Amino acid sequence: MKKIINTTNAPAALGPYSQAIEANGVLYVSGQIPFVPATMTLVSEDVEAQTKQSLENIGAILKEAGYDFKDVVSATVYIKDMNDFTKVNGVYDKYLGEVKPARACVEVARLPKDVKVEIGVIATK
């Protein structure tokens, strides 16, 4: 059974996808960019602020689905510039440091709306 998860406390999808899907006790959260949900605008040009907002958006989706950051088992982090790796990790650690999910972090040529970071997670109970 598949359940679509949607909340106004995270940015609306920018394309034909769901914020998250729950299937068989696993929550798949789509990559979240650092948009402020109420305005659908970029939080800041600062990569640390962008990382924080992306994680706040993930937190809102997790909460809507009845999950928490402690339930995250995997994360994928896309960054525009690998030179920002340490800054992104500093913020990421505040949200997921104790959880230590499996993770991939890759530098990409371009992200939606030219943001500097996008993060997606998988959670399970």
Contacts 24+ apart (CB under 8 A), 39-44: 40/11, 40/12, 42/113, 42/115
CA distance 124 to 95: 17
119 - beta bridge partners? 32, 77
- The alpha carbons of the chain give a radius of gyration, in whole angstroms, of 13
105 included as an active-site residue: yes
Q: Of 105, 111, 122, 124, which one is the catalytic site residue? A: 105
Pair type for strands 102-107 and 117-124: unpaired
Catalytically active residues are 105
